Amino acid sequence: MNIYTATITLILVMDPLGNIPLFLSILNSVDIKRRKRIILRETSIAFFILIVFLFFGKYILKSMNISGPALSVSGGIILFLIAIKMIFPAEENPQRNHQMGEPFIVPLAIPLIAGPSALAFVMLLANQDPGHIWWWALALLISSIVSTIILVFADVLRKILGQRGLVAIERLMGMILTTMAVQMFLNGLEEFFHLH
């Protein structure tokens, strides 16, 4: 995997376009200027959490005795499930998105941005090719900046693309992510069964 593929995959996994309706719903009662500050804060927290998992995830894996192939296969499964939800979204529960006061870390930073799939993917990158850890950090930085820009301009994008446009783009992203997830799963099996 190269830095371009890693960046694209991270953007797909973070799913900023898919998160637009959720972010706007959760931050509905917050002033627009304040909303942008909250989004910047939450995306920064998510970036920090992902960086920690990128650099120290291998120690977490070692302490739990999890092998590289196991991480690759499980990461592929998680990404596949995320992709299926992007293609076939479940009905939203308005009560689920109702927040009392201003959200902090949960649910915006975790799990909407730095969710299980993003955490698994950055650990997978670090585990498969630790020699290029700084390339993965750069990929994470670029994808976080792209996600932040999309979420900061969530109101504008919803007006331009409309709800149907957002859904169509998210489903397209889900299709791309599905193929990446299957490839990750196959790579894990190949490594486990030594099928090089």
Instruction: Say what the pLDDT of residue 176 is.
Output: 86
- pLDDT, position 93: 52
In three-state secondary structure terms, 155 is helix
pLDDT in tens, 114-123: 987 888 899 9
The mean of the pLDDT values for the chain is: 86
Question: Does the pLDDT at position 89 exceed 90?
Answer: no
pLDDT tier at 7 (50, 70, 90 boundaries)? Answer: very high
Please report, rounded to a whole number, the percentage of residues in the chain having pLDDT higher than 70: 94
The mean per-residue pLDDT over the stretch 25-29 comes to 85
Contacts of 73 (CB under 8 A, 6+ apart): 184, 185, 188, 189, 192
| pLDDT of residue 95 exceeding 50 | no
* SS3 state at 106: strand
Query: Which pLDDT score is estimated for 92?
Result: 56
Q: Angle at the Cα of 99 (from 97 to 104), degrees rounded to 5?
A: 110
Residue 79, classed as helix, strand or coil, is helix
Q: 3-state class of 31 per DSSP?
A: coil
Lowest mean pLDDT among 26-40, 54-68, 85-99: 85-99
Q: How many CB atoms lie within 10 A of CB 98?
A: 11
Instruction: Please tell me the distance from the alpha carbon of residue 9 to that of residue 139, in angstroms, as a whole number.
Output: 10
Please give the Cα distance from 115 to 119 (Å, whole number): 6
Show Cβ contacts of residue 89 under 8 Å, excluding neighbours closer than 6 positions: 18, 167, 170
Residue with the two structure tokens 């498969």? 128
State pTM to two decimals: 0.80
The rounded distance, in Å, linking the Cα atoms of 2 and 171 is 24
